[in-house]
């Protein structure tokens, strides 16, 4: 398996989410009475070829390669002209929010899972037209990420699921096997520690919204969650979440994970040198990063993927993400925009994009293609998409997640109990609210 370095670098995405949330406050935009975007219904889209000018805004490395898809689309739709603007990732949300306010939007964008709720809450995006695509064709967790109050605002483009990536050679030397549950993860780490690995597990110790996101995955494995099912109340200090934080922090307390790292971009070097032996809740793109750092074939010889361990009662939960196509309400050519989004969700185009960029399909049928079906490691990722969980779908999530991350650090470094830390996070989250 080979996965390119993508724009899902966590520090950059955090910046985008913060800018998007701040922009909502600056523009005075809130969640519309219908619960999200600017329109709860969109005009039906027919099967005729797309026509006219189609302006697409892109961000990140994904966008740089996207024009490779345009030739086939324009061959099938000869009367459409596509123009694409690449916007720097760190500026994307602010430029887009400004464009929504000024009414100078593009016809089509794609948004990452982390920022979709904030963008939808601006009231500047149209609902996915009825019958444009079949929601059941997509992995449920990716489709649901852009659904607000039963209205979908995005058509998924690609998806990924985080896994346990571990050094097979170090595990073999320690006589341990890939963990399947919480008890197994501790046994795995203790065995590696006894064999001489300094910090067996790489946890996300940045103490920010992404640390909170990792805790959310462990909480879900323990039957918990940070927000009620109807997205109306924070549930951060539930007993299940407290237990999950106690479990997560225990690895640092016992020297099985470092409280100081690795930093995101140091993860490969720590695992390559054997300072860590396993990346917990790591994206599949790490696999190719190991080859980039150590030479082609190094990852295949030294790294394997395993599903995230299940919780004490067998509950499975996986961190997932991806990108979805979204059409601004003021798009000048919504018809062509939706037709392009529909075309990109065809299994053949999903596979082609995987071949170009190695972003994994959001459409389930695409995984039956031999290009993916014959890769045992990719099948682990596919299984993870079936157990994926969504982030809280409120525009204040990044702000609340940052608070949770800060409280997690107090548990790790300051001797604060998990209960007291999450009680404090709960109080701050209630003060921040939902952003609606």
Domain ranges, ordered by start, for the chain: 52-161+320-387, 163-197+263-307, 205-256+394-435
Alpha carbon distance 85, 88 (integer Å):
10
Alpha carbon distance 265, 22 (integer Å):
27
pLDDT for the residue 199: 98
CA dihedral 226, 230, 232, 236 (to 10 degrees): -10
Q: Which of 424, 105, 47, 67 is nearest to 245 (CA)?
A: 424
What's the CATH number of domain 205-256+394-435, 2.60.40.10, 3.40.190.10, 3.40.50.970, 3.40.50.720?
Answer: 3.40.190.10
Give the whole-number percent of the chain exceeding pLDDT 90: 81
Alpha carbon distance 164, 237 (integer Å):
27
Q: Decide if pLDDT at 29 tops 80.
A: no
Model confidence at 1, pLDDT cuts 50, 70, 90, reads: very low
* Helix intervals (H) in 106-181: 116-120, 140-144, 168-174
Q: Decide if pLDDT at 231 tops 90.
A: yes
pLDDT for the residue 51: 98
CATH topology agreement for domains 52-161+320-387 and 205-256+394-435: yes
Which positions ≥6 away from 263 have C-beta within 8 Å?
A: 206
Q: Decide if pLDDT at 37 tops 80.
A: no
Alpha carbon distance 218, 94 (integer Å):
32
pLDDT for the residue 376: 86
Q: Decide if pLDDT at 13 tops 60.
A: no
Alpha carbon distance 363, 389 (integer Å):
17
The burial of 232, by beta-carbon neighbours within 10 Å (0-12 exposed, 13-18 middle, 19 or more buried), is given as exposed
Q: Decide if pLDDT at 313 tops 90.
A: yes
pLDDT for the residue 436: 67
pLDDT for the residue 8: 39
Worst-scoring range by mean pLDDT, 3-7, 89-93, 112-116, 384-388? 3-7
What is the topology classification, in CATH, of domain 52-161+320-387? D-Maltodextrin-Binding Protein; domain 2 (3.40.190)
User: Parallel, antiparallel, or unpaired for β 80-87 and 52-59?
Assistant: parallel
Model confidence at 265, pLDDT cuts 50, 70, 90, reads: confident
pLDDT for the residue 41: 65
- Which two three-digit tokens encode residue 197? 């690995």
Q: Which of 348, 30, 392, 404 is nearest to 227 (CA)?
A: 392
- Which two three-digit tokens encode residue 44? 């039906």
Model confidence at 36, pLDDT cuts 50, 70, 90, reads: low
Residue recorded with tokens 């963990």: 179
The chain-wide mean pLDDT, for the chain, equals 90
pLDDT for the residue 202: 98
Alpha carbon distance 406, 433 (integer Å):
18
Q: Decide if pLDDT at 130 tops 90.
A: yes
pLDDT for the residue 115: 86
């Amino acid at each position: 398996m080979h996965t390119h370095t993508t724009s899902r670098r966590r520090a950059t995405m955090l910046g985008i989410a913060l800018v998007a949330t701040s922009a909502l406050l600056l523009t005075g935009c809130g969640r519309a009475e219908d619960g999200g975007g600017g329109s709860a219904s969109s005009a039906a889209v027919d099967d005729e070829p797309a026509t006219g000018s189609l302006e697409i805004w892109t961000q990140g490395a994904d966008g740089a390669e996207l024009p490779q898809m345009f030739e086939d689309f324009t061959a099938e739709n000869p009367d459409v002209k596509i123009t694409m603007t690449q916007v720097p990732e760190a500026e994307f949300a602010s430029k887009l929010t400004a464009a929504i306010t000024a009414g100078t939007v593009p016809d089509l964008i794609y948004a990452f899972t982390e920022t979709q709720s904030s963008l939808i809450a601006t009231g500047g995006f149209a609902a996915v037209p009825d019958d444009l695509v079949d929601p059941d064709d997509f992995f449920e967790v990716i489709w649901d990420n852009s659904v607000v109050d039963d209205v979908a605002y995005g058509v998924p483009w690609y998806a990924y699921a985080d896994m346990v990536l571990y050094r097979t050679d170090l595990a073999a030397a320690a006589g341990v096997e890939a963990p399947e549950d919480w008890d197994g993860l501790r046994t795995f780490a203790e065995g590696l520690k006894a064999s001489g690995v300094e910090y067996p597990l790489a946890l996300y110790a940045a103490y920010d919204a992404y640390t909170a996101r990792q805790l959310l995955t462990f909480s879900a494995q323990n039957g918990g969650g940070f927000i009620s099912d109807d997205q109306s109340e924070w549930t951060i200090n539930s007993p299940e979440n407290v237990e999950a934080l106690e479990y997560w922090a225990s690895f640092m307390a016992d020297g099985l994970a470092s409280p100081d790292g690795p930093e995101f971009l140091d993860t490969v070097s720590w695992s390559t040198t054997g300072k860590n032996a396993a990346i917990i809740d790591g994206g599949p793109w790490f696999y190719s990063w190991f080859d980039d750092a150590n030479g082609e074939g190094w990852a295949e010889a030294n790294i394997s993927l395993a599903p995230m361990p299940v919780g004490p009662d067998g509950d499975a939960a996986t961190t997932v993400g991806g990108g979805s196509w979204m059409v601004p309400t003021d798009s000048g050519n919504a018809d062509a925009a939706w037709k392009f989004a529909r075309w990109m969700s065809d299994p053949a185009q999903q596979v082609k994009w995987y071949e170009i960029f190695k972003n994994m399909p959001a459409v389930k049928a695409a995984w039956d293609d031999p290009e993916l079906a014959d890769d045992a490691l990719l099948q682990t990722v596919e299984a993870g998409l079936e157990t994926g969980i969504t982030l809280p779908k409120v525009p204040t999530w990044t702000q609340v997640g940052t608070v949770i991350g800060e409280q997690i650090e107090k548990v790790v470094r300051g001797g604060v109990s998990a209960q007291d830390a999450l009680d404090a996070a709960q109080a701050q989250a209630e003060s921040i609210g939902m952003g609606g």
